[in-house]
Each structure stands twice: as structure tokens, then as C-alpha cells.
Amino acid sequence: METIKLQEIFDAKIEKGDTIEPKDWMPENYRKTLIRQISQHAHSEIVGMLPEGNWITRAPSLRRKMVLLAKVQDEGGHGLYLYSAAETMGISRDEMIDQLHSGKAKYSSIFNYPTLSWADIGAIGWLVDGAAIMNQVMLQRTSYGPYARAMVRICKEESFHQRQGYEIMTVLAKGTPEQKELAQDALNRFWWPSLMMLGPTDKESPNTEQSVKWKIKRETNDEVRQKFVDRTVPQADILGLKIPDKDLKWNEAKNGYDFGEANWEEFFNVVKGNGPCNKERLSARVKAHENGAWVREAAAAYAARESKRGNNGN
Amino acid sequence: MTKENQGILWEVFVQTKPGLPHKHCGSVHAPDKEMAIQNARDVYTRRSEGTSIWVVPAEAITASSPEDMGSFFEPANDKVYRHPTFYHVPEGVKYL
């Protein structure tokens, strides 16, 4: 079929709200945009295991430790769903991992901030997972079928992540003055990075318009950010904690909060690789991958031997 | 680029309750079928979503092609008499 005809079929599907599936024809840029977005999303899940993994051995109780282990394991699973979704577009898993390790592919800026206290684990669950959920709920209706289906699974699992974070914050905020101070400090440090992880403002986000047209994104970064602020501020009030934004105030007319401008210079700097933990995160990933090489080789060798012996491993 | 050593791709089908059909839920990489089924369990049934799992090498699956969708499924379109609602039955007849 000629390209013009194929383009028409594609456009009609998008218009109608049908999903695009792996074997369907799609414009080269649609494919490129999605490979970039899905693989970066996958990398974020995997790198996101690191800041929380930092506290597994120091969780304050067995209950918290079990929960944190389960959460970090979920993040690993989410990475795998997403890598699989990206692979359906014709990029290999190894290629994506190489792009992450070489620094060519990005991951969410938020994971380049350190987790200094236990309260940070609460703040990450509440704010970072909270912000991610806003984004991911929207992506359940994204136009690429495998991505949308991965999001449905992820959203189902993420809701416990946010609740466990808020529970940690609740206990600290209602605890001793020192504990409350830890909670406030974590909120202070994670508030702005959480707003920024939803991406640059619409003015600074050149890809948004096309992504909205292709229904990859159903809402712009600023729209998702507004929703996140509106939902989160009352949650902070219940904790008795203060959002670190002097410009934050209720705006009756728009039925939402007005809030201050994030430090976008910091955001772009972190994205470029100069955040507090970029080097540490990447080197931890590379090291884990290299240290696991023998396991992959042994498994491959075993499979090859078994299939030679006729024990048809695959 | 490093050598491809993620194993082959397996499609995963999970049965959520005894008696229900196995439904496709995603894919995993694994070098052999035992590891494929273990990986599938860890990735897709962490919350007891399954009572049974099938893994199938992705390359063993043959699929209809989207371009031919119209003509491929066309033979069924004009055969409404394959549906029970096509038939008129007198009012009051039961168990039909």
C-alpha cells in the first residue's frame, strides 16, 4: 500500500480513538517518539529502585522492610513491562540497556536526588509515586496499545506505593517533634523535584503538541502538574505539614491552586547529568549489569547445551 | 553494542481462575522454558493473579496481518443468520 493511504488509515484510527498495534503501519516519528518515551519510562522504573533500595536494610521495622522490598520489586516488574512494550516497536532490550548505560537515554530527573533520611522513603511514595500516577493514569489511554496495557497493570500496582508512602508520612508527622521535622524536611526537598518530574512547562516542551495530536499524551505537562498540586495540598494539610511554596494559594476562580515557578535551571541541569546523584545512579546500574553478566552467560550456555542434548529447552 | 544475551522472547498467557481461558498478558525474556515460566510468574503474578501460566516462544506465533483485516474477516460480515437474534419465534415460546 502507498504511504499516503497508510497515513490516512493511521490518522483515522487516532481520530477514532482506536489503539495502534505493533504490526500496524505508523509514521516513523510516532515510532521514534514512543521508543524514546517508553524506554525512558522503563529506565526510570529501574533506576528508581536505587534510591529506595538504599533504605531496605535500614527500614525501621520488619513490616516496613517487607513493604519496601515488595515496592522495589514492583518497580523492577514495571520496568520489564515497559521494556517489553518498547520492544514491540522494533528496538532490542540490549540496545535500550546500552543507551541507558552510555548516557544516551535519559530517565526521570527525580531519581538523581539522594534519600537522606527514612522520611524520604515516605516522601517518595507519597509525592514521587503520586506524581507518576497522575501521569500514568493519563497514559492508560495512550494511543499505542502495548504501552496503554502496560500502564493499566502499573496503575493497579502503584496505588499501594502511594498509600504506603503517605502512611510513613502520617506516622512521622504525628510522632515526636524530631520525627515531624524529618517529615517536613523530606517534603521540603522532594516537593519541587516532584513538580518538575512532570516535565518542562508547556512553553518549553516542544514535543508536547505533536504528542497530544497523536494521543500519546492526553494532557499537557502543565495540566497534569495542576492536577497533582490540587490533589496533594489538602493531603499535606491533613499531615499538618507545610508545602514549601510562598506563592501557593487557593484560586476560587479557576477552582485550583496558584503556585510558584519551579527552578527550571536546576531541572535542566539535572537532566543534563549534573544532579546530586547522576553519576552514582548510573555507575550502580552499570556495575549491577556487569556483575550479572556471568549469570546471563551461564543461563545461555545451559540452554544451548540442553537443546543440543534434545531436552528442547525452547 | 554488547552481544544479545537476554535470551529469547516468550509471550505469556495467564489463566486468572480455574475454568477460564488463558489470556495474553505480556512477554518475558528467558534462555529456556523453565526460566521463562519462572520469570513469567515473578513478573505477571505477584498478586496471585493466576492459577496457570503458558509461555510460548514469540517466534512460534503466527498472527493475521492488520492490513488485510477487512478482507480477512469479511466472510463473516454478511452472515447474520449465524446469530440467534436472526430468527423469528412466536411470542410466549420458552427455552429457545
Q: How close does chain A come to B81, measured CA to CA in Å?
A: 28
Give CA B73 to chain center in angstroms.
Answer: 18
Strands A249-251 and B52-57: unpaired
pLDDT tens per residue, chain A (314 residues)? 688 899 999 999 999 999 999 989 999 999 999 999 999 999 999 999 999 999 999 999 999 999 999 999 999 999 999 999 999 999 999 999 999 999 999 999 999 999 999 999 999 999 999 999 999 999 999 999 999 999 999 999 988 999 999 999 999 999 999 999 999 999 999 999 999 999 999 999 888 889 999 999 999 999 999 999 999 999 999 999 999 999 999 999 999 999 999 999 999 999 999 999 999 999 999 999 999 999 999 999 999 998 888 765 55
Grouping H, G, I as helix, E, B as strand and the rest as coil, residue A90 is coil
Look at residues A241, A210, A205, A248 and name the one whose alpha carbon lies nearest to residue A226.
Answer: A248
What DSSP character marks residue A218?
A: S
Separation CA A4–CA A270 (nearest Å): 41
pLDDT computed for residue B1 by the predictor = 40
CB < 8 Å to A77, chain B: 42-43, 46
How wide is the angle at C-alpha A238 spanned by C-alphas A151 and A159, nearest 5°?
15
pLDDT at B11: 96
What DSSP character marks residue A250?
E
- Nine-digit cell string for A22: 505493533
CB atoms near residue A199 (< 10 Å): 21
Q: Which residue of chain B comes nearest to A24, CA vs CA?
A: B66
Q: Which of A74, A157, A300 sits opposite B31 (nearest CB)?
A: A300
Length of chain B: 96
Cβ contacts below 8 Å, chain A against chain B, sum to 74
For B86-95, how does the pLDDT look when each residue is reduced to its tens digit (9 = 90+)?
Answer: 999 999 999 8
**Residues of B (7-46) whose Cβ lies below 8 Å from A:** 7-9, 25-36, 42-43, 46
Q: What is the pLDDT of residues B42-77, one digit of tens each?
A: 999 999 889 999 999 999 999 888 777 788 888 888
- Residue A80 sits at the chain B interface (C-beta within 8 Å): yes
Look up the ipTM and state it: 0.84
Whether A249 and A258 have beta carbons less than 8 Å apart is answered as yes
For the stretch A85-91, contacts whose Cβ atoms lie closer than 8 Å and that sit 24 or more positions apart, written own/partner, are A85/A38, A85/A144, A85/A146, A85/A147, A85/A149, A85/A150, A86/A34, A86/A35, A86/A38, A86/A39, A86/A42, A87/B9, A87/B27, A88/A22, A88/A146, A89/A22, A89/A31, A89/A34, A89/A35, A89/A38, A90/A31, A90/A35, A91/A35, A91/A39
Of A14, A47, A133, A37, the residue nearest A86 (C-alpha): A37
User: With contact defined as beta carbons under 8 Å apart, do A172 and A182 qualify?
Assistant: yes
> What is the number of residues in chain A?
314
Of the candidates A74, A87, A98, the beta carbon closest to that of B1 is on A98
Which residues in chain A are contacts of B2 at CB distance < 8 A? 94, 98
**Under 8 Å between Cβ of B32 and A314:** yes
Distance CA B15, CA B25 (A): 10
- Spell out where chain A has E strands: 249-251, 256-258
Question: Rounded to an integer, what distance in angstroms lies between the CA atom of residue A277 and that of residue A293?
Answer: 25
C-alpha cell at position B22? 488463558
Q: Give the DSSP H or E segment for B53.
A: strand B52-57
Q: How far away is chain B from the Cα of A151, in angstroms, using its nearest Cα? A: 12
Q: What is the DSSP letter of A48?
A: T
